[in-house]
Amino acid sequence: MAKPWVNGPKELLGHATEHINRANDFDRRIAFISIDNSIELSIKTFLSLPKRTRKQEGPSRKELQEAENSFPTYLDLIEKYGQDKLSSINLDDIEWYHRLRNQLYHNGNGLTVDKSKVEAYFEIGKILFESLFDDKLLPHQDLTYTTSLGIFMEKWSIFEKGLRAKLPPKDGPAYYWKRNFLNSIDEKLVPVFNEIMNFRNEITHGDYFPSIEEFDQINNKINYLSKHIGLHD
């Protein structure tokens, strides 16, 4: 049975899907804002859940009150109390996209957002939702990616999820946990992993605009890693 507290974030992502598929500047802005609202609601909901539901310690009432109306403070709290749920999530990405959302919200008439950025943020919101609540979107709420960035983000998320399932008990920060595991299989995997991580960070923040050929090359490197850790033949 679906948990009632997941409905809000889930419906907001589904609402975003409807607008993304309409393929115009206005609907992409609405979709982007809806994704951001879903992410904010996911974080607030998770932090506000009772301890027996969350199955771990959470913020005090005072901490939640101090975070009210401060999105960066909520990110600090989820980093403090939900770290084990964030191994595939970069909170810097969320903070960067949230700033972009604020620009769209306050100056929306003169700004547009590229579809690839909307798809990337959707994937981030989807992975955060799934990680925090151990739940999945319904088929009609999910999105089929059509941009190179969206396809890459989904492919990398699938790899990260498969990698996480194979990791030993956590030992240290997420990056070193993953790196040490890859190194234990074959030290040649580590520089490939680092290259993909750097590529992801650069394109997610809009500092780098790779060609289709570059996306193909990096996707092949994800396939290379997947094969060597036994995710597929």
Based on the domain organization, do 17 and 100 belong to the same domain? yes
Same domain, 9 and 99: yes
What local confidence, expressed as pLDDT, does residue 100 receive?
Answer: 87
Same domain as 60, residue 2 = yes
Which residue range(s) make up the domain with 71?
Answer: 1-141
pTM assigned to the model: 0.90
The count of residues in the chain is: 233
- Using the structure block, give the residue that is written with the tokens 């620009």: 103
Q: What are the 10-residue block averages of pLDDT along the chain, 233 residues in total?
A: 85 94 88 96 93 82 89 94 85 92 72 89 95 89 93 94 86 80 94 94 81 96 95 68
Q: Is the same domain home to 166 and 197?
A: yes
d(CA 26, CA 226): 38
- Claim to verify: residue 170 and residue 132 sit in the same structural domain: no
Q: Are 14 and 126 contained in the same domain?
A: yes
Check whether residue 39 and residue 126 sit in a common domain: yes
Contact present, 38 and 16 (Cβ < 8 Å): yes
Residue 208 pLDDT: 76
Task: Scan for tokens 């498969």, then name that residue.
Answer: 162
Residues 231 and 156 in one domain: yes
Whether residue 70 is found in the same domain as residue 86? yes
- Cα(124)–Cα(151) distance, integer angstroms: 12
- CA pair distance 48, 204, nearest whole angstrom: 29
Q: Which of 141, 174, 206 is the last residue of a domain?
A: 141
Last residue of a domain, one of 86, 110, 141: 141
pLDDT at position 63, please?
92
pLDDT at 116: 92
The predicted structure's pLDDT at residue 172: 66
**What's the confidence (pLDDT) of residue 204?**
83
pLDDT at 115: 92
Task: Give yes or no: residues 10 and 72 share one domain.
Answer: yes
Distance of CA 70 to the CA centre of its chain: 20
* Residue that finishes a domain, picked among 109, 141, 173: 141
The structural domain count of the chain equals: 2
Is residue 47 domain-shared with residue 159, that is, in the same domain? no
Same domain for 8 and 122?
A: yes
- pLDDT at position 206: 67
Give me the helices (H) in the chain, please.
Answer: 7-20, 25-48, 51-54, 61-67, 71-81, 91-106, 115-133, 148-166, 174-185, 189-204, 212-228
pLDDT recorded at residue 78: 94
Report how far Cα 151 is from the mean position of its chain's Cα atoms: 13
**CB count in 10 Å sphere of residue 81:** 17
Give the separation between CA 16 and CA 27, rounded to whole angstroms. 9
